[in-house]
Amino acid sequence: AQTVTQSQPEMSVQEAETVTLSCTYDTSENNYYLFWYKQPPSRQMILVIRQEAYKQQNATENRFSVNFQKAAKSFSLKISDSQLGDTAMYFCAFSRNNDMRFGAGTRLTVKP
């Protein structure tokens, strides 16, 4: 079974600075997908970014980008120019054949 590990339970960053959230996963599969979801205080689950394992190029969505290291099974999320609205829980997720599993989450606080 696939496992997803987020080793940072909590992190904080000053507004306008950059922060990186870590995620590692374990799988024997070669084709899969990786995701970061954001859960603000409203508890809504919001897709932040998605990466296909067969693509070498790292995904980017505005201020959010990933560092995907397939051999190391690492998938970190970088948030640039952090904003107060980025304060949330961030979940890393692994998916294959529509079976998605989540890490335990990292609580990010952006400080003014």
Partner 1 sequence: DSGVTQTPKHLITATGQRVTLRCSPRSGDLSVYWYQQSLDQGLQFLIQYYNGEERAKGNILERFSAQQFPDLHSELNLSSLELGDSALYFCASSAAGSPGNTIYFGEGSWLTVV
* 26 counts as binding partner 1 under rule CB under 8 A: no
Neighbours of 55 (CB within 10 A): 11
Point out which span in 11-19, 60-68, 74-82, 103-111 binds partner 1 (CB under 8 A).
103-111
Point out which span in 17-25, 63-71, 73-81, 99-107 binds partner 1 (CB under 8 A).
99-107
Point out which span in 11-19, 31-39, 67-75, 80-88 binds partner 1 (CB under 8 A).
31-39
Q: Least distance in Å: CB of 81 to partner 1?
A: 25
Which residues make up the interface to partner 1 (CB under 8 A)? 33, 35, 37, 43-45, 47, 50-52, 91, 95-105
